[in-house]
Amino acid sequence: ILALSFCICVAMIVLFLKAVNEHRPFSTKYTMQALCTVGVIFTLPVFSLMYFSGMVVPKSMSKVTYIAETYEAISLLFFLRLLLTYLGGKKETRETLTNTKVKLNS
């Protein structure tokens, strides 16, 4: 089972590097977009490495889970930042939302 887990970890890292390499030509202009995209894509390799190391050293599983869950929160922040970047940034999104009037059907 450890050999299978190790192969899955290596596959996640290879897929991560492939995804970053494919995305790089599209984000040369926008550094924040590239940073957030890499942060979100990096979630799978981090999780696979963390839980593989937890399988290898079972006593460290609580620490590994803590690190993995912390990175999950960070990757959610990366995703929200990426979403704001796609919407035009904080200022433009705030202006759009304040100038938009919503009618509620009651």
Q: What is the pLDDT along the chain (106 residues), one digit of tens a residue?
A: 678 777 877 887 788 788 777 766 766 556 777 778 778 878 878 887 888 888 888 888 888 888 888 888 888 988 988 888 888 878 888 888 888 787 777 6
Please, is 2 exposed, middle or buried when counting C-beta atoms within 10 Å of its C-beta (0-12, 13-18, 19+)?
exposed
pTM of model > 0.95: no
Distance in angstroms (rounded) separating the CA atoms of residues 82 and 94: 15
Where does the chain show beta strands of DSSP type E? none
**What pLDDT does residue 81 have?**
86
Distance in angstroms (rounded) separating the CA atoms of residues 69 and 85: 24
User: Reduced to 3 states, what is the DSSP secondary structure of residue 30?
Assistant: coil
